[in-house]
Structure 1
Amino acid sequence: MAFESTTPSLATNGSIHRNRGIRDVIEHFTPVWFSVNMGTGVVSALLHSYPYGGNSIILNGFATAFFFLNLVLFCIFLTLTICRYVMFPRLWGLMLRHPVQSLYIGCFPMGAVTLINSGLTLGYQYWNWGGTTFLYTLWGLWWLDTFVSFLCCFGLVYVMITQHEHSMATFTSAWLLPIVTVIVGSSSGQLLAAALIPHSLSNAALTTTFAAFMVILGISLSLMVLTLYLRRLFIEGLPDAGAVLSSFLPLGPCGQAGYSLLLAGNNFVAILPKGNGEVLSDELAGRVLNIICFFCAFVLWCLTIWWLACAVFAVIYTVSVGHKLIFKLPFWGIVFPNGVGAILTIQLATAMDSAVFRVLGACYAAAVMALWLLLAVPTAIQVYDKRIFISPCVLEEKEKLRIQFEIARQEPSDLRLDREK
């Protein structure tokens, strides 16, 4: 069944008004929306782990409110996404072939992971929801999310290689999105493994080991991409004003991988020694691995701070030369990377019992929460008047069809002129 759309073409610069129908909104509902889940979920995590307040019921109450808000948003976004590809099946292939929109598919499993994390840390551990059954349900959902994450990490990278056209000038850090899915999933796995230790040491060991594999794979690939991205910055300069906020995306793999490694180190201490192998049966195995994980996490925190400074300077420079940052939905992509950077800082404060890191983490977390509010207001306004529902791949397709129609309409008149001559 075909559905018509009232969407204006690129020629009208996307001027959209409130009388757009629900079909048009669904047609323009893109995977970028799941970055809102990522940002909302990381705010919930920051409220729960905030270094001051003594794990108060007030902070955890707000964290729980953000969890339920995130859950409602995720259900809405998932429903609209399913409707989009059922009503407009051609858009799936069109979206996959788009060199930018397809990358945001990775936001889906990462947004889901934030729900699993909050369900564990808030629901199961703080509010004591559901008991062991709820814990194992979350564990099963994590394995499902892990499967989707690997599909993104390998499948989307394959699509990028075989279907997309790339150049160094158009290279942005958004290339990290398919890869970082396994890093985000790894931290969730380590949280679940820690919760599983009292119930099943074998399941905890399996989860810890597999999550460690995920983070090592993800950060290795991410550092390769970041090397290419740094080369792009040296040769081509900063991204244009419309993409300059993507400069914050490198914080994501560095911060999240560091957090995952800290959790892995703690789990290794609790699980090892184990078995009769030459390495893992040693009494010092867990402590040695914990120290290695801490050192690697600190190195990644240093990289996080460096990329944060680069991103801030990039935004300041872009604004100083007269460019305006016009709000768009992809702006939400900066909340989660900064959020995981704040979480890593807070976890390092705990690991080192450092007042300096505790203050830095608290300030960073507060800034991320303020950033969430700063983006939530224009998002709500543009959702109300429907300006925010714009799919670049759909608009580009409609523009191509319009040009083809204009060419076809001019051809008969050209033939008539030839006959008259």
Structure 2
Amino acid sequence: MSPTPQIELPQQQILPFSLGNRLFDDGQDSNNTNSPTFVCDDQPSWLSRLFFMLNEKLVVNFTPVFFASVMGTGICSNILYNFPFPAKWLQVCGIIFSVVCLVLFLSLTALMIFALYKDSHLWYRIHRDPVHAPAMGCFVMGFITLVNMLHSLTEKSWIYAVWVLWWVAVFGSVYTAFLTFFFSVVGKHRKRENVLKTSNISLAFLLPVVTLTVCAALGGSICPDLPKLNMKITTMVLSFVMWAIAVILAFIVVLVNFWRMFVHKIPATGQVFTMFLPIGFLGQGAYAILLFGRNCVEIIMENSNNVASSSYTSFLHEAANSHNQDLSNLPVILSTALLATSTMFAASLMAFGYFFTFLAFASVLSKMQPFARKPNTQHIYDGTEGNIVQRLFSGFLRFNRGFWSMTFPLGTMSLCNGEMYNLYKGMDAFRYISTIYACILISITLGCLCGVAYNFVKMVITSMRPATSKEMV
């Protein structure tokens, strides 16, 4: 009699372990030398399979890019709470978003600590790997959005606590922009592990740099509520230094990336959302310098009687005394000069931000149907297969964590346009532009949250299906 033929079952997913069930055997059974490659006596429970998939997704493959969700929900909460057309129900929505942001931040921070405990090489990757390390800026910026929302809710009542948290943000921003940027982008490794091809130069290198502008904007926001003059001036000067470093360095990174785009064109479909990142430093930079100009005017006007004799303007009154000049109009002159200069810098950054908004959306649309003749099918929903959601979004880019890259940059443009209107009430156009950016931001953030929920539900449904392994029968 001929031996029974061996039939190989179709393989859907191989689970290397399960909790509460026997592990898959490695084929080295001491009692049977002809045992199959994989043997599973008991089906693992769906909770075990779900735990395994979550562990693979969130712990084993942890990346700081996850904190982009904190940035998106955080800036969304701030804009809703301080909407260009304020309303009580919008403030309530802002508080709800801030709770979501806080939950995400605490959960992801716990995951990062656990991942660092499980994987000793993760610390190296988030400091020196040019792919993963720049995304540590997302962690810092997510923290800053929470501090900003805390200040909006408490104002002067918790100003000392907020100021301490701002100094924590300063440390994180400087650490990320200086050390992480150096080790991951420009530092030379002994094994040359971070040497990049020109085609791999990415706008993601902006992430550790933008943290400085975000921290500078936070300093400008809390400055008016600080109780002492020296605290205000210290905060303003340090914020301006961070702003200047970030803007100059960011323009260098953007310049190099423009050269890469001239040669290699826009990024591939999987990286196309990085085109939104320059909008972040442009919008946040404009917002920070507008706050600097506003704070300069307020401080000078509050201390107008002491400006001419202040130690902060020692050179001016010494020169005036030596030439017998009157400095009675010095407060007005200084205020006007500083505000006008800040406005010109901000308007220039905002104008470039408008251009990059077009460039980013055009790049994304060029990857989708009907604009792309040959779209990358790995990143496009196929309407002929899948569930109703995939058929509904046929031709659109598949949801991935890169979608979160759109949220924070668009939010910064809403902030800077809104602040421009607050300074110059006659320019109503900026108020409406701020509202347009805010509405786009809120829509995309809600879409991203729905995408995260959809992927989680999809993962749960997948885990509840019977597990199949490679068996011989």
The 8 Å contact of residues 258 and 297 in structure 1, kept in 2 or not, is answered as yes
Query: What's the counterpart of residue 178 of structure 2?
Result: 154
* Residue type of the alignment partner of 2:257: Y
The 8 Å contact of residues 126 and 134 in structure 2, kept in 1 or not, is answered as no
Identity %, equivalent residues: 25
* Residue type of the alignment partner of 2:50: R
Is 1:140 equivalent to 2:213 in the alignment? no
- Map residues 53-202 of structure 1 onto 2, 5 A cutoff: 55-121=86-152, 123-125=153-155, 131=157, 134-159=158-183, 160-161=185-186, 162-163=188-189, 164-196=194-226, 199-202=227-230
The 8 Å contact of residues 105 and 152 in structure 1, kept in 2 or not, is answered as yes
Q: CA deviation at 1:29?
A: 2.5
1:28 corresponds to which of 57, 61, 84? 61
Distance 1:356 1:176 in 2: 29
Is 1:237 equivalent to 2:265 in the alignment? yes
The 8 Å contact of residues 126 and 136 in structure 2, kept in 1 or not, is answered as no
- Map residues 221-300 of structure 1 onto 2, 5 A cutoff: 221-272=249-300, 273=307, 274-275=310-311, 276-279=313-316, 282-283=330-331, 284-300=333-349
Q: CA deviation at 1:21?
A: 5.9
The 8 Å contact of residues 17 and 385 in structure 1, kept in 2 or not, is answered as no
Q: CA deviation at 1:22?
A: 5.7
- Map residues 349-360 of structure 1 onto 2, 5 A cutoff: 349-353=421-425, 354-360=427-433
Give per-residue Cα distances to partners, 1:60-113, cap 9 Å, x unaligned. Answer: 111111112211211111111111101222222244443211111111110000
CA RMSD, Structure 1 to Structure 2 (Å): 2.2
The 8 Å contact of residues 170 and 215 in structure 2, kept in 1 or not, is answered as yes
- Map residues 1-16 of structure 1 onto 2, 5 A cutoff: none
* Residue type of the alignment partner of 2:63: T
The 8 Å contact of residues 113 and 185 in structure 1, kept in 2 or not, is answered as yes
Is 1:41 equivalent to 2:74 in the alignment? yes
Distance 1:119 1:326 in 2: 34
The 8 Å contact of residues 104 and 177 in structure 1, kept in 2 or not, is answered as yes
The 8 Å contact of residues 64 and 126 in structure 2, kept in 1 or not, is answered as no
Q: CA deviation at 1:172?
A: 1.6
Query: What's the counterpart of residue 320 of structure 2?
Result: none
Distance 2:95 2:172 in 1: 26
Give per-residue Cα distances to partners, 1:165-205, cap 9 Å, x unaligned. Answer: 21221112111011111111100011111221xx1111011
Q: CA deviation at 1:56?
A: 2.5
Query: What's the counterpart of residue 232 of structure 2?
Result: 204
Distance 2:294 2:429 in 1: 22
The 8 Å contact of residues 17 and 386 in structure 1, kept in 2 or not, is answered as no
Give per-residue Cα distances to partners, 1:332-383, cap 9 Å, x unaligned. Answer: 1210001101111121222222222211211221111001111111112223
Distance 2:254 2:121 in 1: 33
Q: CA deviation at 1:279?
A: 4.8
Query: What's the counterpart of residue 416 of structure 2?
Result: 344
SS at match of 2:266: coil
The 8 Å contact of residues 51 and 358 in structure 1, kept in 2 or not, is answered as yes
1:217 corresponds to which of 222, 245, 265? 245
Using the size of structure 2 for normalisation, the TM-score is 0.73
Give ranges in structure 1 of 5+ residues lacking alignment.
8-15, 388-421
Is 1:366 equivalent to 2:413 in the alignment? no
The 8 Å contact of residues 259 and 347 in structure 1, kept in 2 or not, is answered as yes
Distance 2:163 2:94 in 1: 21
The 8 Å contact of residues 173 and 212 in structure 2, kept in 1 or not, is answered as yes
CA distance 1:221–1:90, change in 2 (3 Å): same
* Residue type of the alignment partner of 1:78: T
Distance 2:236 2:365 in 1: 41
Give per-residue Cα distances to partners, 1:88-141, cap 9 Å, x unaligned. Answer: 2222224444321111111111000000110001x213xx7xx2xx21111101
Greater Rg by CA: 2
Distance 2:49 2:124 in 1: 28
Distance 2:242 2:211 in 1: 9
Using the size of structure 1 for normalisation, the TM-score is 0.82
When the two structures are aligned, how many residues end up with a matched partner?
365
The 8 Å contact of residues 20 and 386 in structure 1, kept in 2 or not, is answered as no
Q: CA deviation at 1:143?
A: 0.4
SS at match of 1:249: helix
Q: CA deviation at 1:316?
A: 1.8
Give ranges in structure 2 of 5+ residues lacking alignment.
1-14, 19-47, 301-306, 318-326, 381-396, 461-473
Distance 2:420 2:131 in 1: 34
The 8 Å contact of residues 283 and 349 in structure 2, kept in 1 or not, is answered as yes
CA distance 1:254–1:279, change in 2 (3 Å): farther
